[in-house]
Each structure stands twice: as structure tokens, then as C-alpha cells.
Amino acid sequence: MPERERRWNGWGFAGESFPAPARARAWLAERLGEGNPLPAVPESEVVIPPPRPLPALPARTLTESGVRLRTACGHSLPDLLALRTGAIAAFPDAVCFPESSEQVVEILRAASAAGVVVIPRGGGTSVVGGVTVRPGARPVVVLSLERLRGLVRVDTTSQLATFRAGSLGPEVEAALAPHGLRLGHEPQSFELSTVGGWVATRSAGHRSTGVGKIDELVAGLELATASGLWRLPPLPASAAGPELRRLVIGSEGRLGVITEATLRVRPLPESEDGLAVLLPGWAAAVELCRELLQTGVPVEMLRLSDPPETSFGTTLVHLSPLAARVSRALFGMRRYHRGCVLLLGWAGATQEVTLAEQAAAKLWRAAGGLALGRSGWRRWRDERFRHPYLRDELLSAGWGVDTLETAAPWARLGAVYSAVRQAMSSACERLGFRVAVLCHLSHAYRDGASLYFTFLWPLARGAELAQWSALKGAATEALLETGGTISHHHGVGTIHAPYLEREVGQTGIAALSALARELDPQGVLNPGVLLPGEAT
């Protein structure tokens, strides 16, 4: 199948979009005021310096400007601002495309010998600066996993499948389907992110409440380092010392390049469905989610939007005149004035799905929920990979938008939620602009859940990055102070690296640094990512 052309300065595939409906623009204008539209400079206006000399690398290597531009950044908000304005801080000097695990080892050897920085790149969808090239004295090579793709083997008896690291989400599912299997790992970046990237960042998909985070799905790994291939075989469980696979999961390219991963897969479901439920208020709705998890009601997908996200969400949906009247009437009722939409999804044997839905219904009815039907859930499922295109539309229209996510035990979740919202509002007040903070709870566990915040603000010309820094910094401090993690699934990258020590302690940083020194003695792999304070 021919590769679809990707946008060089925004999300996704060229020609795709998610235009902001007039109602959404009105919602934002009413709460935030108008911002300054941020036009995107054409590619021809981006100034790309010539590449620095590099040693010969044992794989196809390109130094063309277009390729270097397309691998200079990821998808964080600072990345997008840089790409839109053309103010890109640094470019790789070359991009290489190994075709085997052995070639990756050879590249790492050559780079280590010559002191060349290597940035492993899967889909390049990092939102935390994980693949962003930074200025520095050493030349930089992006090691693209683009040619290391495909299914290596399937063990249907054990329900294990081994993939090369550069395999994209849709390729994974397409390769498993003929075997009657699926992985079920569907981050919103599914169409453009890779197996290796998921493992390197400890990613989570929409179905993670049922299938688990990628952490739970990895059974075995192959890691390329300058000293060779390190194979950690797939095992259901082991007591052979500490779990070394877990050290590689989340290592963000600092310990080596993941070249293969053996993943736990499951049978394709007989049926799949879900529904939307309207609940009277946030705190009680969070309690309902806790109850669902702790009483063991099986749920594959769970997503609870808070009142602001529910309100903004209704502006993105095209409703028939009748449905729009019903919606207005519902939200006009005192009971649902601060209503929260809960999406619940199930997949599996038809009878199991029916029983799980019935068990869940007992709980949401007792919590005062009102079934909104299946169409809302199905629409969300069908459109979920298109939603990220909205960010580019909003930037063009003058509103900044970014997301941040955390997780905390149920007992701390309310405090984290309030503190993050409050911190962002206070930061804006000080700086004289307004912010809308939307949140949903997803990826739920017996002991806690993830909160995913979307924040929007009117862009001020020339101060876009400062506005973002103020909001992001305030929110990160707030969630650390109230007991949340700096990231539930986006990872650390360079953006969260300065905060990692507050979460894992000095000993944690020292242990990780020692491991990085052992596996990458010349310090060429992703300097500044995960562990802070290292120059490229």
C-alpha cells in the first residue's frame, strides 16, 4: 500500500481536517475572547542550514532538507509553534533508515565512535519533546524505524505476536486479524505511532481499562545497543531477579533502540458496542467509575467528561434540529445542568458483553444516570482519530490548545482535579488572559485513574510560548503537589524531564543514569530526554 503523505507542520495526513464548527468557535469566543490567528509559514520560507559532516553510516542515509525538516520536531505545542512560525531551533544533520536489528547495532557503534547524537524516531508523535532536535555541538542523526516494520511471528497457542518496532497501529491490527486476533492498543495517535514508540513511552490506548496499558501487553523485547542485541524473551511471569523488561518499557530511547516487541494479543471480539450516559455531576460520576472498577464490572473502554468538556463536546457534534432541542432541554434541567457524559464500551463474546452492560447499568442508574443511547458512543468511536486535526484549526483561528495528563489514587483524584484547574486559572489571571480547562477521566484501575486535561486560551502575538509555559508549569507543579504523576502515558521527554526527580527521587535518577551510562557509555542516545541536564 502506498504511504499517505503526512503534514509537515501539523497533525496527520495531508488533505484531512476536522474543521471547528461555528458553535465551537462561538463557545470559545464567549469564554476566552478572540485570539490572534497563527498563520503557518510555507515550507519554502523555512531556513535550513546545511548539514554538518558525519561518518559513513551502515544504512540508507538522507541529508535532503525536506527530510531533515520533517524529522526536526515532534507534536508538542512548542514543536507546533516552531513549525508554524518557521523558528525551528535545530535540524538533524542526517536521517538514517536501518532495515534490520543488526544494522541498528552498527549505526549505534559508528555513532558512539564518532560522538554523534542519535535520536530514535518511530512515528514522531511525541508530545513531550521526545524526538525534538536540540541545538548542540555534536552532529545529530535521526534513526528512523520506518523500514523496520511488520509481523515477525505469531504464536496462536500462547496468544503472542512479535512485531518489528516501526510497525504502525493499523498495520499491527491488519496483520493480526487473519489469525483471528487483535492487540486492542489504540492511542489517539494510533494511525501514526509505532510499536517501538508505544513501548518506549509507556503509552495507553482508549481501551486500556480493559486491555491494559502497553506495559501489560509487552511479553518480550529486543533492544539494540552499541554492544549488541539484548534479547529479553517472552515469558508469562518470572522470578529471575528484577523485571528487566520493565526497565526498557518507558526508557524513551535512552537505553537503546527497541527493534522488536513480543505482545500479548487476544481473540477478535464476537461483538462490540457501547453507550453514552448522562450523569448529574462530576464528583458522583467519579465515584461511579471507582465503583465500576472496584466491583469488577468488566469494561473495555471508559471515558467520563467533566461539565466543561461535556459542554464543549456538544458543540462539536452535528445534531438534527430535534436532537438539538432534546439536548438543550436536558442540559436545561436542574438535575443535569452540570451534567457529565460517560462513555462505556465493551468487546468480547456477545453474552459476556450483554451481562457486563447489565451489571454496569445497575450502577449508573443508581448514580442518577440517564442513557443517551448508542449513537453518541459509536460516533465517538468512529471519529476519535480525527479529533486531533481540530488543534491545527484552532491555532489557525487564534486559540492555543494543549493537553496534559496524570494519574492518581482515587483518594487523591479530587484534589488533583481541583488543583490543576485552579493553578491554570490563577496563572492566567496573573498574566491577564483567560483559559478554559476541560478534563476527562479515562484509563481506570482498581486503585485510581488517569485525568486528561485539555486547556485552551486566546493566543497573544509573539507570546504564545510564554503563555503555554505559564499554564503548563502551573499545572505540573499543582499535580505534583497533590500527588499526581507527571505523566500517565505521554512520557517524560525533555518537557517533563526537569520534574522527574520530584517523582522518583535522587536515588531513582542516579539508578537510571547509571543504567544509561552502562548501555550507552558515550551518551549518544537521546541526551536530555528522560534524564535532564545533558547537553547535546
Smallest distance, ligand FAD to C-beta of residue 102, A: 15
Smallest separation, CB 281 to ligand FAD (Å): 26
Q: Is 296 exposed, middle or buried (0-12, 13-18, 19+ CB in 10 A)?
A: exposed
Asked whether position 126 contacts ligand FAD by CB under 6 A, the answer is: yes
User: Could you tell me which of 66, 126, 110 has the C-alpha nearest to residue 118?
Assistant: 110
Helix, strand, coil percentages in the chain from 3-state DSSP, rounded to 5? 40, 20, 40
Rounded Cα distance between 259 and 163, Å, is 9
| Per CB under 6 A, 528 contacts ligand FAD | no
Q: Are the beta carbons of 299 and 358 closer than 8 angstroms?
A: no
Do the bridges between strand 117-121 and strand 140-144 make them parallel or antiparallel, or are there none, so unpaired?
Answer: parallel
Q: Which is nearer to ligand FAD, 421 or 440 (CB)?
A: 440
Q: Which amino acid is at 4?
A: R
- The 332-371 site mask, x for binding ligand FAD (CB under 6 A), equals ----------------------------------------
Which candidate, 154, 165, 220, 241, places its Cα nearest to that of 196? Answer: 165
In Å, what is the CA distance from 2 to each residue of 73, 99, 100, 493?
Answer: 24, 18, 21, 31
d(CA 516, CA 321): 59
The three cell numbers locating residue 270:
464476537
Q: Does 144 bind ligand FAD (CB under 6 A)?
A: no
Nearest residue to 193 via CA among 224, 223, 214, 221: 214
Is residue 257 within the footprint of ligand FAD (CB under 6 A)? yes
Residue 280 is a binding residue for ligand FAD (CB under 6 A): no
- Residue 23 CB, shortest distance to ligand FAD, in Å, is 23
CB count, 10 Å around CB of 152? 14
Closer Cβ to ligand FAD, 201 or 209, answer by number = 201
> Which range, of 91-99, 125-133, 368-376, 417-425, touches ligand FAD by CB under 6 A?
125-133
Question: Segment 485-504, which members bind ligand FAD (CB under 6 A)?
Answer: 489-491
**Residue 519 sits in the site that holds ligand FAD (CB under 6 A):** no
Nearer to ligand FAD, 85 or 189 (CB): 189
Pick the binder of ligand FAD from 203, 225, 467, 536 (CB under 6 A). 203
Query: Binding residue for ligand FAD (CB under 6 A) from 80, 145, 288, 302?
Result: 145
Give me the least distance between CB of 359 and ligand FAD, in Å please.
Answer: 27
Q: Which stretch binds ligand FAD (CB under 6 A): 186-194, 319-327, 457-465, 497-505?
A: 186-194
Q: What is the 3-state secondary structure (H, E, C) of 273-335?
A: EEEEEEECCHHHHHHHHHHHHHCCCCCCEEEEECHHHHHHHHHHCCCCHHHHHHHHHHHHCCC
Is 200 a binder of ligand FAD (CB under 6 A)? yes
Site string for ligand FAD, 375-394 (x = CB under 6 A): -------------x------
Binding mask 163-182 for ligand FAD (x = CB under 6 A): --x-----------------
Nearer to ligand FAD (CB atom), residue 11 or residue 417: 11
The yes or no reply on residue 395 touching ligand FAD (CB under 6 A) is: no
Give the number of other CB atoms < 10 A from CB of residue 517. Answer: 11
Which of residues 88 and 278 has its CB atom nearest to ligand FAD in the complex? Answer: 88
Helix ranges (H only) for 72-176 are: 77-85, 101-114, 169-176
Task: Kindly tell me which residue out of 35, 92, 98, 123 binds ligand FAD, with binding defined by CB under 6 A.
Answer: 123
The answer to whether 498 touches 233, Cβ cutoff 8 Å, is: no
The binder of ligand FAD chosen from 70, 121, 245, 264 (CB under 6 A): 121
Contact between 108 and ligand FAD by CB under 6 A: the answer reads no
210 binds ligand FAD (CB under 6 A): no
- Extract the runs of DSSP E, i.e. beta strands, from 435-498: 436-444, 448-458
- List, in sequence order, every beta strand (DSSP E) within 4-63: 60-62
Size of the site for ligand FAD (CB under 6 A): 38
Q: Across-strand partners of 404?
A: 453
Interface with ligand FAD by CB under 6 A: which residues? Answer: 11, 74-75, 119-127, 130-131, 145, 165, 187-189, 193-194, 196-198, 200-201, 203-204, 252-253, 257-258, 388, 489-491, 526, 529
